[in-house]
Amino acid sequence: MGARTMEQTMRRSTLDAAAVARVVHEALAEDVGSGDLTTNALFPPHARARARLLVKEPGVVCGLPVAEAVFRALDPEVRFEAVVGEGDHLRRADRVAVVEGSARAVLSGERTALNLLGRLSGVATMARAFVDAVAGTGATILDTRKTTPGLRVLEKYATSVGGATNHRRGLHDGVLVKDNHLALSGDVRTVVELLRRVPGGHPVEVEVESLEEVRAALDAAADALLLDNMSPGAMREAVVLAGSRATLEASGGVSLANVRAVAETGVGYISVGALTHAARSVDVSLEVL
């Protein structure tokens, strides 16, 4: 194996304050722009408002600190009280937070806060569903780079809140040889040898699509194999072939309907793009009290 194992490159995210500030700044610039024409005309700067944030359907709550950051960017003195915990699974529609401060801040920040809260809760809810689906199999659910541009850090935080594990944050922190790399650069043995020289001791993972490619990657001493769109039967054979020589990650076409069957092949990891690219935002709302 390389200086670092594949497991050591994985992690659970914590919320990055700088990333939150960047996203909130850009989102408010997009939505509020030079000012909320309606709200600013109706309410003077000293007007106050108190409101509750509601999740209107079952799901995993995620993004409360992000919603708070939206309101606080518009009114640094705003009071934001979360009444449920980040990652709590609500079985029914329920109040999740109360916000109190400038009426202008509450009303102007409403849509941005709800968009982010709903999106992150949707990603966390999807992640929890996949994690629950493979419970007891020993397989770990991984997220991917199939994220919304500009929101990757927050969406990977949301998959963590849902119980999944972060894989590569970007091209800068992991080595993965895809089919197009091999098409341009030659045979897998040469590629693996070249990538051993990359600073940082990154484990070398190679994408394979057949048992013949599995054998070739194992013979080249790859640390990990990404089994791309392979059948459950082929995955089982790959598990036997690999033994303890390489970590196996299944990928491609994974859904809630088949993820448990994939896990039961014996692969250690299953990467699921749907955690982010197919997650539906949870329905959330804000009601003035």
Which domains, ranges and CATH numbers included, belong to the chain?
Answer: 6-10+131-277 (3.20.20.70), 17-125+280-288 (3.90.1170.20)
Q: What angle do CA 27, 153, 28 make, to 5 degrees?
A: 10
Q: Are 23 and 150 within 8 A, CB to CB?
A: yes
Q: Is there a contact between 111 and 238 (Cβ–Cβ < 8 Å)?
A: no
- Integer Cα distance of 269 and 256 in angstroms: 15
d(CA 191, CA 207): 12
Catalytic residue among 207, 213, 223, 249: 207
**pTM for the whole structure:** 0.93
Per-residue pLDDT of the chain (289 residues; tens, 9 = 90+): 344 566 655 666 678 899 999 999 999 999 999 999 999 999 999 999 999 999 999 999 999 999 999 999 999 999 999 999 999 999 877 899 999 999 999 999 999 999 999 999 999 999 999 999 999 999 999 999 999 999 999 999 999 999 999 988 888 888 999 999 998 987 899 999 999 998 888 899 999 999 999 999 999 999 999 999 999 999 999 999 999 999 999 999 999 999 999 999 999 999 999 999 999 999 999 999 9
Give me the residue label for tokens 């040898």.
193
Is 72 one of the catalytic residues?
Answer: no
Residue among 22, 111, 196, 260 flagged as catalytic: 111
- Look at residue 10 in the predicted model and tell me its pLDDT: 61
- Report pLDDT for 239: 98
* 56 catalytically annotated: no
CB 6 within 8 A of CB 205: yes
Q: Is 111 a catalytic residue?
A: yes
Q: Report the greatest alpha carbon distance in the chain.
A: 72
SS3 (DSSP) at 288: strand
Q: Which residue has the tokens 């199999």?
A: 137
Annotate 37-47 with b (16+ C-beta within 10 A) or e (fewer).
eebeeebeeee
Clarify whether 179 is annotated catalytic. no
Active-site entry in 146, 189, 245, 260: 146
Predicted confidence at residue 186, as pLDDT, reads 79
Neighbouring-strand partners of residue 102: 48
User: What's residue 8's pLDDT?
Assistant: 54
Residues contacting 163, CB < 8 A, separation 6+: 127, 128, 131, 132, 141
Q: Is 178 part of the annotated catalytic residue set?
A: yes
For residue 92, the model assigns a pLDDT of 78
Instruction: Return d(Cα 109, Cα 73) in angstroms, integer.
Output: 9
- Which residue from 194, 246, 178, 185 is spatially nearest to 215, judged by alpha carbons? 246
Catalytic residue among 68, 75, 228, 249: 228
Task: Tokens for 135, please give them.
Answer: 């419970």
Q: Write down the pLDDT at residue 6.
A: 61
Catalytic residue among 48, 178, 179, 280: 178
